[in-house]
Structure 1
Amino acid sequence: MNDSRPVPATPYQHVQHLISRLEQSLLGKRRKLEFAVACILAQGHLLIEDVPGVGKTTLAKSLAYGLGAEFKRVQFTSDLLPSDLIGVTVFQQGSGDFEFKRGPIFTHILLADEINRANPKTQSALLEAMHDGQVSHDGQTILLPQPFFVLATQNSKDNYGTFPLPESQLDRFLMKISLGYPTAALEKRVLKGDYIQPEVQKAELSLSELSRIQGFVRNVHVADEVMDFIYNVVAASREHPAVQVGVSPRGGQALYRACQGLAVVRQRDYATPDDVRELAPLVCGHRVTLNHAQVLTNVDPDENARQIFRDIIMEVDAPL
């Protein structure tokens, strides 16, 4: 008797279907979408920085809807309070009890829109949540739903009304990417509205499928030669004359995990040196403090940092 049951999709097929669906909302940005999906698969948080109007929020919303998870969006402003994120305890007059009203941080995917418009106190409310998957309130520790991801957008630092993210906050983001402007042909399609809105996209993955793929990612093989390459890049950042404070061991761990995630996106069960070369500027660029006497003053600091890691990659002896 023939078995007519459909063959289950592989993790690679699931991921490729997800990226293809996301690409219908964000035209011509497949490589950036691959980075974003790799970040999620590696169980990291994603920071998207660029000028207003190039699709940062669209990318974040597309990822959220494509993963089929509970999703909440918070527009960060200068008067946003930590309690607006975490929640507040209120007195219930009828029962005489105090009840904790949970804030929007209690979700699977939190879109922190224009995160650098919030004051530092509110930004710091995310630190424990992003690192430990929990929040502390009134002396109690409350676990967040799992999985929990923060997809944050950020305007350029020279925009009016923004607060720079502190190093501790930046370190919570596995990867930092930018989108750039589309090509002329694609921008004309955007002007006509010839793309699919994220809200009407069908979810491509369930939470159980996402969890299964994340487990698969954790088992992606990283050869000793690739591990040595990751370490050498991280160590070289601490000796570079243009870097005041280099990448920490946690930053090296982030690069390792990101390489595993990108390997699955590229349909491999092993990481390669090219994964390291491609990801090091995105994973490590925001984790260093620059020596401003040694960098170009007329270039954006983020681009300076990314260029430093491109130079380090060129200098470090990489495996074939």
Structure 2
Amino acid sequence: MKAIQFHEAGGPEVLRYDEVPVPEIGSGEVLVRVHAAGVNPPDWYLREGLKVMPVEMRPALDFPLIPGTDMSGVVEAVAPDVSGFAVGDEVFGMLRFPGFDGRTYAEYVAAPASDLAHKPADIDHVQAAGAPMALLTAWQYLVDLGHEVPSPFTGQVHQPPSITPGTTVLVNGAAGGVGHFAVQLAKWKGAHVIAVASGRHESFLRELGTDEFIDYTTTRAADVVSGVDVVIDTVGGPDSRRFLTVLKRGGIMLPVFFAEYDPEETARLGITVSNIQVRSNGAQLAEVGSLFDKGRLRIGVDSTYPLSEAGDAHRRASRGHIQGKIILTVSQ
């Protein structure tokens, strides 16, 4: 089969379109013919050698590596001990995460059945491939964590906030993968949603149900917003603390990307900071995926690239300002 591999860490140019063996399935696995694969930040973190992670948290890398965690496709074979899936089923999932052995940038992938769900009938493979990591991240932050594993960043087990009608949720980086799902899930729970993004994304986010829109290129959220119950910050970085002042006392800050907060400052403001490491969960994906068929969720597709042009897809990601997800398509 064809797959994207890299033999050393580096820029998008290290991604090679190679011929490799079709994987064999083991206990608890199914073989999936991949129709589309989603492009996610961990894919380019891996390609770069995981430089984004603290040195003490970096696993050793054994080259060559096939990147990718998200995919949608059709079941080709099923291990004898697997139930619930059959040859010909359309499935999607986030494979073996947290970890870097998803191997979805390929024509075939051996997938743990527990990481898979049946693809919602109302979305195609391209849309489905873009959903798993971003959707599960938003779901596990805002609705149901689904496990009792402490966050590796805080050592605490995250408790999703109570979101009910009347709750105000601000989403920073609202047009991106996690952000646009967070907007929709917060609206589904009845929240008043404030979206922060660049102005070109306003119509897209209004269509998703945003109640208030802030163009960060012209307006600081802290200058016009206060009394927010929940901030989910998908951008993170050293400037994340600027959103603390929009929260009311007793509010919760949910940083998706690496961010540091002064415990004394958050204690003084009465704010809780909590985060997660998203984890594969096929049962959760089936539950939240049903919202697509009910018309409660949609996925934005920023752009698509053939699998062979994965390097160009990573170059697109590096330019930022993504609306929804970047997808790799696999010829059938």
TM-score (norm 1): 0.27
- Structure holding more helix per residue: 1
Q: Which has the larger radius of gyration?
A: 1
- Structure holding more strand per residue: 2
Higher relative contact order (CA 8 A, sep 6+): 1
